Amino acid sequence: MKKIIFPIAFLLLTFFLFSQIQERTVTVTNVVVPVRVMDGNVLVDNLTIEDFELYEDGILQKIEALYLVNKANIARKETLREYDPPVSRHFDLLFQTIDYNPKIGEAIDYFFNNVFLPEDTVTIMTPQDNYNLSRKALRTVSKEDISKEMQKIIRKDTNLGASSYRSMLRDLRRLVGSISSVGAPAGRATAFADASAGSTSLELLLPRYRATLQSLEELRVVDYKKFLQFAASRKRMQVGQKIVFFFYQREFRPEISSGVLSRLMSTYQDKPQILSDVQDLFQFYRRDFNFNTERVKQAFADSSLSFNLLFMHKEPTRAPGISMKEQSEDAFNAFSQIAEATGGIVDSSQNPAAAFINAVEAAQSYYILYYSPAGSQKDGKFKSIKVGVKNKSYKITHRLGYFAN
């Protein structure tokens, strides 16, 4: 076999070319950062490149271009290097609701009549299904008809999708009523007591409550992997603005009141097993919320979408002997962090229409900043971004960062 000998000059040339290619792949990275700068409730729209400071992983970066966007139009630009930012828009309206609120209809009306543009696209996700409205469909059907149809769909899907959950909540309320009535003075039984339970003992009522509670939790599990899949799908979208509005309804879990709990603890002092079950279910119970918030935050920031949380308040039904325990703090906290990580907003209100209008108006105008981080490597690591305005204390929202891959 003949040995192949490469001339030294050829090897040096190959190494030189390879080094140049490597250098180009390392340094040519254009990072896009949508930014909103607010003075109270008013957008600050007169800033220049020189007004901004932008850091990646704590290192000051040179901003190469600034574009001020209003809806789907570039209102102003200032560039050291010319870019062509896409300004087309895709909206996601996500509904995690238990009961249909008529104010949601007002929000849908406002969206199609005041926000939606012919070149926009929309996806609506209900507890039952996903609906993608194509540009062709949106151009051939009037906004009024689309709005009416979407309201019907959201109402129907909410009633169907949450029917099992509402039924289990009623069962839990009846069981708590029955538990609260055990050993109560005559005439003090709650109206929510389960008539079928009769004089059923706590030994039987407590396991029924536990089993129903477990079934309820299985219905309301929040799978963070689905959120990661959603972020990945939106990252692949070739649009300028990816705006998500997440309607999330406040949740409650029926428990026995503190007064009834004290009475039961006193009554059953000689039955440690019952005392233990009562304490576990009504005093020390914690919802198992397995949600990787940090990972979802990074994935949503990396996809360059704006996630807006619209938290819908609803007062619970009150009854003697029954306490309605807030059960959405953990999810609310996680979703609020995701909104902050994407430059979105959080609005908490009993009126989802008003909350939606505030959120969508805030999403209409923003800056786009471009920079090319020096020495950046495609190492797959998450790069953090921090944007500020020199010598000012404005409220600034932007995405947390991106994965360098």
Task: Assess if residue 298 is contained within a domain.
Answer: yes
Q: Are residues 113 and 249 in the same domain?
A: yes
Given a contact cutoff of 8 angstroms between Cβ atoms, the answer to whether 387 and 396 are in contact is yes
Angstrom distance (rounded) from CA 67 to CA 104: 33
Last residue of a domain, one of 325, 344, 359: 359
pLDDT at 186: 52
Share of the chain above pLDDT 90, in %: 50
Mean pLDDT of 95-123: 92
Band (pLDDT 50/70/90 cuts) for residue 334 is very high
Task: Assess if residue 100 is contained within a domain.
Answer: yes
pLDDT at 200: 61
Tokens encoding 231: 């972020």
Task: Assess if residue 79 is contained within a domain.
Answer: no
Task: Assess if residue 3 is contained within a domain.
Answer: no
Mean pLDDT of 35-60: 95
Q: Are residues 158 and 300 in the same domain?
A: yes
Q: Are residues 188 and 286 in the same domain?
A: yes
Task: Assess if residue 5 is contained within a domain.
Answer: no
Q: Are residues 162 and 252 in the same domain?
A: yes
The dihedral built from the CA positions of residue 163, 169, 172 and 173, taken in this order, carries a sign that is: negative
For residue range 352-382, list pLDDT tens digits in order: 999 999 999 989 999 999 999 977 678 889 9
Q: Are residues 46 and 126 in the same domain?
A: no
- Which H, E and C letters describe the chain, residue by residue? CCCCCCCHHHHHHHHHHHHHHHHHHHHCCCEEEEEEEEECCEECCCCCHHHEEEEECCEEECEEEEEEEECCEEEEEEECCCCCCCCCEEEEEEEECCCCCHHHHHHHHHHHHHHCCCCCEEEEECCCCEEEECHHHHHHCCHHHHHHHHHHHHHHHHHHHCHHHHHHHHHHHHHHHHHHHCCCCCCCCCCCCCHHHCCCCHHHHHHHHHHHHHHHHHHCCCCHHHHHHHHHHHHCCCCCEEEEEEEEECCEEEEECHHHHHHHHHHCCCCHHHHHHHHHHHCCCCCCCCCCHHHHHHHHHHCCEEEEEEEECCCCCCECCEEEEECCHHHHHHHHHHHHHECCCEEEECCHHHHHHHHHHHCCEEEEEEECCCCCCCCCCEEEEEEEECCCCCEEEEECEEECC
In one-letter notation, the amino acid at residue 58 is G
Q: Are residues 342 and 369 in the same domain?
A: no
What residues does 32 pair with on adjacent strands? Answer: 370
Strands 73-79 and 42-43: unpaired
pLDDT at 9: 37
In one-letter notation, the amino acid at residue 381 is K
Please determine, for residue 17, whether its predicted confidence score (pLDDT) is greater than 70: no
Domain range holding 383?
31-71+364-405
Strands 31-39 and 395-398: antiparallel
For residue range 309-333, list pLDDT tens digits in order: 999 988 877 777 788 888 888 889 9
Q: Within 81-127, where are the H helices?
A: 102-110
Looking at per-residue pLDDT, the higher value among 191 and 115 belongs to 115
Mean pLDDT of the chain: 85
Q: Are residues 149 and 162 in the same domain?
A: yes
pLDDT at 12: 33
Last residue of a domain, one of 338, 359, 380: 359
Q: Are residues 144 and 49 in the same domain?
A: no
Q: Are residues 176 and 311 in the same domain?
A: yes
Task: Assess if residue 204 is contained within a domain.
Answer: yes
Task: Assess if residue 176 is contained within a domain.
Answer: yes
Q: Are residues 119 and 183 in the same domain?
A: yes
pLDDT at 233: 96
Of 14-18, 112-116, 363-367, the range with the lowest mean pLDDT is 14-18
Task: Assess if residue 63 is contained within a domain.
Answer: yes
Q: Are residues 253 and 345 in the same domain?
A: yes
Band (pLDDT 50/70/90 cuts) for residue 336 is very high
CATH number at residue 396: 2.60.40
pLDDT at 20: 41
Give CB contacts under 8 A, 24+ apart, made by 213-222.
213/172, 213/253, 213/281, 215/168, 216/165, 216/168, 216/169, 216/172, 216/253, 217/287, 217/288, 219/164, 219/165, 219/168, 220/165, 220/251, 222/289, 222/291, 222/331, 222/334
pLDDT at 185: 61
For residue range 160-174, list pLDDT tens digits in order: 988 888 888 889 888
Per the structure, the count of domains in the chain is 2
- Which H, E and C letters describe 158-198, residue by residue? HHHHCHHHHHHHHHHHHHHHHHHHCCCCCCCCCCCCCHHHC
Q: Are residues 222 and 131 in the same domain?
A: yes
What residues does 67 pair with on adjacent strands? Answer: 77, 368
